[in-house]
Structure 1
Amino acid sequence: MKSTQDYSEQIVTLAEWLQKSKYTTILTGAGMSTESNIPDFRSKDGWWNNIDPRTVATTEALDNHYDLFHEFYSMRTNLLECCLPHRGHHLLAEWEQKGLIQAICTQNVDGFHSAAGSDQVYELHGSINKFRCADCSRIVSREQFLNKERCSQCGGNLRPNVVLFGEMLPEECWSASLSHIHKSDLVIVIGTSLEVYPASQLPQMTEGKTVYINTETNGKNQDFSLIIQDKVGNVLAKVNEIIE
């Protein structure tokens, strides 16, 4: 363990808690991926075509405004072609391999945690890298969706396999995430505003210590045991320097 004199008290505390914890679960949100140059579409600066994406990523838009829905998700799908997991994603994968963390529950749909090498990943809001028919759930290809084809089986519209506003979270994924949270003596929340229910409730469901890491805190997260306001990559890199 390296000397801690060059690190903030919060970073040192997190490093100590991580090393002492017997069961650690990570919960990540959009702020985990913004450092991979993926926009946080929920932020005001990230609004798309002057439209709040929260009005596009809905079952109502899928059913009644499919052209707009398809344009939005085609843009997001194509955007991923130019983006890769950043160092923070890879550090979490390394910590899992070392037994420092046991699971990652994520609100992100980009698949970057798995791409970086993490194994125990639970995608609460689905995956933008998989596609299906909106009506019969037939699995289709990325190309079929981007080409705006209709389902060859029932003629329905195609969609990414993400959880839209107005839909339930995948039951198996939600149950597994709850199980990990309940077992944890340390839960580290990274890059999420905790505004989207029910994932926002997860940090409250542990009896262990809770840590909140984000570039903005806005005074909403005072119930956490530890709050670190900084870029995700910076925090994870500094903690890793201490524990490696």
Structure 2
Amino acid sequence: MTAIKDAIKIIDAAPKITFLTGAGVSTPSGIPDYRSLQGVYQGIDQPEYLLSHDCLVYEPQKFYQFIKQLYHPEAQPNIIHKKIAALARKKPVWVISQNIDGLHDKAKTPHVVNFHGNLYDVYCCKCNQSIPWEKYLTCDIHENCGGRLRPNIVLYGEGFTTDVVNHATAAVKSADLVVIVGTSFQVAPFNQLLYYRDKHAKIMAINQTPLAIQEPFTMVQCAAEDLFKEINI
């Protein structure tokens, strides 16, 4: 296991970095993760169903009542988001995020792929018009056409757009260092992005629990915010 100071040296030395970020990056901003004891899935039967395309289509009110709990508009970028954004202003840095909270964009990170979409990007399923997320939180029916509103996120049972996949794989291919941050890295196809890295690119994981990755990698077992606060930019 690598110490924080040694991990920072690796990050500083890498010419091009791609970060793969998960829920552990946003928990310091007050956004609950999904599967921990304090996570949004706790005490809910079949939580994945509530975030599925089937639930949206066949039980839209059940979907709507659950999805509203995932909105945290008061949340602000924390030290992890801010330091990654600052790094990206110094050298080529991409972020591919599992998170749907938009905090990397809020931190003004130049190159972000929201792999699973963004809760704050809402549209009408009938007329495809973009709708302010604030209106969505008051009603999930479009007042203009009567269509169902939904956030532009990837639900269980839905596929990924070609654009998202192409941008994500290109970002991984271009990196000299791929840094996995705040994720158990068990959800496909996000965890398959490593297949696209250059054979000479290094892999680092920053997470509170050890990860099981088949490729050689550097494990930094710590809270991500503890590491990023020590990066000088």
Q: TM-score, normalised by structure 2?
A: 0.90
Structure 2 CA distance for aligned equivalents of residues 235 and 126 of structure 1? 27
Q: Contact 2:140–2:150 at 8 Å: present in 1 too? A: no
Q: Which of 35, 42, 49 is matched with 1:42 structurally?
A: 35
Unaligned runs of 5+ in 1: 1-7
> SS of the counterpart of 1:177?
helix
Which of 103, 120, 125 pairs up with 2:116? 125
* Aligned match of 1:4: none
Q: Which amino acid in the other structure matches residue 167 of structure 2?
A: A
1:197 to partner: Cα distance? 1.5
* Residues 206, 219 of structure 2: 8 Å contact kept: yes
Give per-residue Cα distances to partners, 1:135-193, cap 9 Å, x unaligned: 44222222332222423454321111111111122321221111111121100010112
- Please, which moves more after superposition, 227-236 or 191-200? 191-200
Aligned to 2:55: 61
Give yes or no for contact 1:70–1:148 (8 Å, CA) kept in 2: no
> 3-state DSSP class of the match of 1:81?
coil
- Consecutive unaligned residues of structure 2, counting only runs of 5 or more, are none
Give the distance between the partners of 1:72 and 1:13, measured in 2 at CA: 42
1:82 counterpart SS class: coil
CA distance 1:213–1:9, change in 2 (3 Å): closer
Q: Please, what is the CA RMSD of the aligned residues?
A: 2.0
1:181 pairs with 2:172: yes
User: Quick one: distance in 2 between partners of 1:143 and 1:234?
Assistant: 34
Query: Structure 2 counterpart of 1:65, which letter?
Result: E
**1:75 equivalenced with 2:69 (yes/no):** yes
Structure 1 pair 40–224 and aligned structure 2 pair: CA distance change class (3 A): farther
Residues 186 and 209, structure 1, Cα contact 8 Å, conserved in 2: yes
Residue matched to 1:226: 218
Structure 2 CA distance for aligned equivalents of residues 127 and 59 of structure 1: 16
* Count of equivalent residues: 230
For residues 104-153 of structure 1, give each alpha carbon's deviation from its aligned partner in whole angstroms, at most 9, with x where no partner exists.
11111111111112111111111101111234422222233222242345
